[in-house]
Amino acid sequence: MTTEAVAVSSEVYDNRVAFADELIELAEHDDRVVAVCNDSVGSSNLVGFRDRFPDRLINVGIAEQDMVGVGAGLANAGMIPFVCGAAPFLTGRSLEQIKADVAYSQLPVILCGMSPGVAYGELGPTHHSIEDLSWLRALPGLDIVIPADRAQTRQAVRQAVEHPRPTFIRVGRFKVPDLPQQVLERGRFQTMRDGVDVTIIAAGTAVSRALAAAERLEGDGFSARVLNAAYLNPLDEAAIAAAANETRAIVTAEEANVSGGLGAAVARIVLEQPAPARVPVEMLGFRDFAPTGSAGFLLELAELTEAGIARAALNALQR
Amino acid sequence: MTEQSAHQLRTAPAQRAEWLAARQAIAVADPSERDQILHRWATRTRRSVVSMIDAARQGHIGGDFSVTDILTTAYLVALDVDPAQPRAEHRDRFILSKGHCAAALYSTLAFAGFFDPGELSTFMKPLSPLNGHPNRNKVPGVETNTGPLGHGVPVAVGAAIGAKLKGESGRVIVVTGDGELQEGSNWEAFMTAAQYGLDNLTVVVDRNRLQQGARTEETNHLDPLDDKFAAFGWNVEQIDGHHYGQLADALTRPSGGGRPHAVIANTVKGKGVSFIEDRVEWHHKVPSAEQVKQALEELV
């Protein structure tokens, strides 16, 4: 995998814009596409969709359990509902609806968790969504997609319409750069860069930082592989096993609580490997409710930075 | 371990034919003949529930009996569904939100030919598709997986919005328990239904006035329930939930004025068996061999 052709962009973008643009484009050609929201027309960036398709924007008000159930009913009726709400409330308030009405019922509802992770910064832990990956990863039959940039966000939306199935898409608000072009493939990590010493498996906002950390490690004489964990369910167990068998250490980096998200997922697969491949795993992410601070500040505090990820890689290699 | 069942349930053609014949007979019958047919089918369902719960040694007999006449009338009089095509695009939707009353639902579906009534004996047995709460991917005719309370109405609202968006004339009927209305998700959905003018939606409340642990009114009272629905912008009516004429009328009459339709069906928990009727302990008590015998003697 070469990455010379296109570099990481210097500009950064809000993935919600790409999400909404793609959704409108798809809705033009497919009248099954509807959006459901919880008074989040603005924060889910659905103003354009509403103006274009007023009948196909179902705003249930501030009622997340209802919102997810309504989404399931719309799917039952043959529509393709994109259920949009701030990730903490969409996942936390309606977790049982996501479990029973969507995942267990196997209805093709596309749950769009807006502004996930610590995007809401100073608004505090009530508004952070760092538990979502732990909660949702426990649900069989629910795809979990964490697009790392605008292009992947668009691909995630398009694939949801082309192959509707129960899905959670984390739609980032914290601005990220465009990455070297990657094809989003269900259940696969993308190899952003190959390496032989250490593997960095990063998701969402951490991917561009992981690439920068790999550059820094190269300067220190270490070769780092970087995997973009754009799908957490289904999990790319083969890529994790390969990382454990082909490199000497693994770092995971996610804007989530490490207890049940990407880090825990990777650790399980590593522990299932034969002894020599049970390599050290360093998990970057959150371990507590976050203190007051901007999203950028909190990512730094969690070491989810170029320097922090590189440091974790060196630590892992020395263990 | 993956989630799997011993076998797939399929349409039972002979049973479906019997069900179609009963529907046609009801369509031309006078009220007394209609009531006789419905009583016969409901009694068969109640007897089936007794046998299923006896064999499984678990279940929810009280709620099964209070909802049986509603289920029977819905499937023989009101719903436009075809057991041979349970996922037909233009079907009416029926959702049993009180999913713990699966034995009554399974019996109703089986006697309509959605699957072979012989399967009912596997209820809650290892790997049976007939779980303690209904699963749409295993049981033909089930629209959504229920069991946790307060889930059916929001899904029904979504299905009703979907039908309107597609310009379909199909209706959605959802049955909830009354204790279940203590779940806030219902009231979120009641507001949405009124906001969207869902006159293709009927909510039937199985108002048996008992919940698992006590009377509803002694737990977290619901009355005046009709006023609550009216205040939420619904057309509301109270009926006797064991009166076939009132049920048939309420379940077939379109809701007017662009408003959703609430039917408060006053029922008796345990209806049909004297020692089970209106007794809180029979929420999920299992009858002894002697009690099974007595129940079947009463259910004729």
Structural domain spans, chain B: 13-298
What number of C-beta contacts closer than 8 Å exist between A and B? 115
Q: Confirm whether A6 is domain-assigned.
A: no
Indicate whether A42 and A132 sit together in one domain.
yes
Indicate whether A136 and A197 sit together in one domain.
no
Chain B residues within an 8 Å CB radius of A77: 93, 158-159, 161-163, 165-166
| Predicted pLDDT at B5 | 52
Indicate whether A173 and A208 sit together in one domain.
no
**Ramachandran class of B209: left when φ > 0, alpha when ψ lies in -120 to 50, beta otherwise:** left
Rounded Cα gap, residues B40 and B34, in angstroms: 10
| Predicted pLDDT at B4 | 54
Spell A106-134 as b/e; 16+ CB within 10 A means b: bbbbbbbbbbbbbbbbeeebebbbbbbbb
Indicate whether A29 and A163 sit together in one domain.
yes
Six-digit token string for B146: 């229920």
With a cut of 90, say whether residue A44 has pLDDT above it.
no
Q: Confirm whether A2 is domain-assigned.
A: no
Q: Confirm whether A25 is domain-assigned.
A: yes
A74 touches chain B (CB under 8 A): yes
B254 DSSP assignment: P
* Cβ-nearest to A73 among B3, B158, B185: B158
For residues B5 and A36, which has the higher predicted lDDT (pLDDT)?
Answer: A36
| Predicted pLDDT at B256 | 85
Determine contact, residues A116/A171, Cβ cutoff 8 Å: yes
A288 touches chain B (CB under 8 A): no
Rounded Cα gap, residues B9 and B119, in angstroms: 8
Indicate whether A244 and A169 sit together in one domain.
no
Indicate whether A173 and A220 sit together in one domain.
no
Closest A-chain CA to B136: A105
* Cβ-nearest to B162 among A65, A73, A140: A73
B180 forms bridges with which residues in the sheet?
A: none
Q: Confirm whether A198 is domain-assigned.
A: yes
CA B281 to chain centre: 21
Mean pLDDT of chain B: 96
A202 forms bridges with which residues in the sheet?
A: A228, A253
With a cut of 90, say whether residue A253 has pLDDT above it.
yes
With a cut of 50, say whether residue B269 has pLDDT above it.
yes
With a cut of 50, say whether residue B147 has pLDDT above it.
yes
A201 forms bridges with which residues in the sheet?
A: A227, A252
Cα-based angle B227, B197, A43 (whole degrees, multiple of 5):
105
pLDDT class of B163 with cuts at 50, 70, 90: very high
B172 forms bridges with which residues in the sheet?
A: B93, B201
Q: Which of A95, A70, A89 is nearest to B195 (CA)?
A: A70
CA A53 to chain centre: 27
Q: What is the dihedral of CA B58, B63, B66, B72, to 10 degrees?
A: -70
Q: For chain A, how many structural domains are there in total? A: 2
Q: Coil, helix or strand for B266?
A: strand
| Predicted pLDDT at B1 | 44
For residues B256 and B127, which has the higher predicted lDDT (pLDDT)?
Answer: B127
Rounded mean pLDDT of A8-16?
Answer: 95
Rounded Cα gap, residues B192 and B208, in angstroms: 26
Q: Confirm whether A1 is domain-assigned.
A: no
Indicate whether A267 and A164 sit together in one domain.
no
Identity of the residue numbered B290? E
| Predicted pLDDT at B3 | 52
Q: Confirm whether A172 is domain-assigned.
A: yes
Rounded mean pLDDT of A256-264?
Answer: 96
Are A69 and B185 a contacting pair at CB < 8 A? yes
Chain A residues within an 8 Å CB radius of B92: none
Q: Which of A179, A230, A185, A215 is nearest to A13 (CA)?
A: A179
Chain B residues within an 8 Å CB radius of A97: 151, 154, 185
Count how many residues are written for chain B. 300
Determine contact, residues B243/B215, Cβ cutoff 8 Å: no
| Alpha-carbon distance A66 to nearest alpha carbon in chain B (angstroms) | 5
User: A269-273, long-range: CB within 8 Å, 24+ apart, which pairs?
Assistant: A269/A235, A269/A237, A269/A240, A269/A241, A269/A244, A270/A240, A270/A244, A272/A241, A273/A241, A273/A244, A273/A245
Rounded mean pLDDT of A134-153?
Answer: 98
Are B189 and A70 a contacting pair at CB < 8 A? yes
Interface with chain B: mutation pick from A105, A111, A139, A142, highest number of B CBs within 10 Å: A105
With a cut of 70, say whether residue A311 has pLDDT above it.
yes
| Predicted pLDDT at A4 | 45
Rounded mean pLDDT of B160-181?
Answer: 97
Interface with chain B: mutation pick from A31, A32, A59, A66, highest number of B CBs within 10 Å: A66
Residue keyed to tokens 């339709």: B261
| CATH number (domain holding residue A306) | 3.40.50.920
Rounded Cα gap, residues B287 and B299, in angstroms: 14
Cβ neighbours, 10 Å, residue B123: 24
Six-digit token string for A155: 């691909």
| Predicted pLDDT at B6 | 55
Mean pLDDT of chain A: 96
Interface with chain B: mutation pick from A70, A96, A97, A107, highest number of B CBs within 10 Å: A70
Indicate whether A238 and A305 sit together in one domain.
yes
Indicate whether A26 and A103 sit together in one domain.
yes
Rounded mean pLDDT of B99-108?
Answer: 98
| Predicted pLDDT at A7 | 81
| Alpha-carbon distance B127 to nearest alpha carbon in chain A (angstroms) | 16
Are A74 and B158 a contacting pair at CB < 8 A? yes
Indicate whether A18 and A165 sit together in one domain.
yes
Closest B-chain CA to A96: B148
Indicate whether A18 and A149 sit together in one domain.
yes
Helix %, strand %, coil % for chain A, to 5?
A: 40, 20, 40
With a cut of 60, say whether residue B2 has pLDDT above it.
no
Instruction: Count H helices and E strands in chain A, helices first.
Output: 12, 14
Are A97 and B151 a contacting pair at CB < 8 A? yes
* Cβ-nearest to B161 among A61, A70, A97: A70
pLDDT class of A2 with cuts at 50, 70, 90: very low
A83 touches chain B (CB under 8 A): no
* Cβ-nearest to A69 among B89, B135, B158: B158
Determine contact, residues A261/A202, Cβ cutoff 8 Å: no
Per-residue pLDDT tens for A64-84?
999 999 999 999 999 999 999
Q: Confirm whether A20 is domain-assigned.
A: yes
The structural architecture, per CATH, of the domain B13-298 is: 3-Layer(aba) Sandwich (3.40)
A260 touches chain B (CB under 8 A): no
| Alpha-carbon distance A82 to nearest alpha carbon in chain B (angstroms) | 13
Per-residue pLDDT tens for B219-229?
999 999 999 99
With a cut of 80, say whether residue A5 has pLDDT above it.
no
| CATH number (domain holding residue A50) | 3.40.50.970
Determine contact, residues B175/B233, Cβ cutoff 8 Å: no
Residue ending a domain, among A177, A202, A225, is A177
Q: Which of B298, B244, B277 is nearest to B63 (CA)?
A: B277
Q: Which domain holds residue A28?
A: 14-177
| Predicted pLDDT at A1 | 41
Indicate whether A211 and A156 sit together in one domain.
no
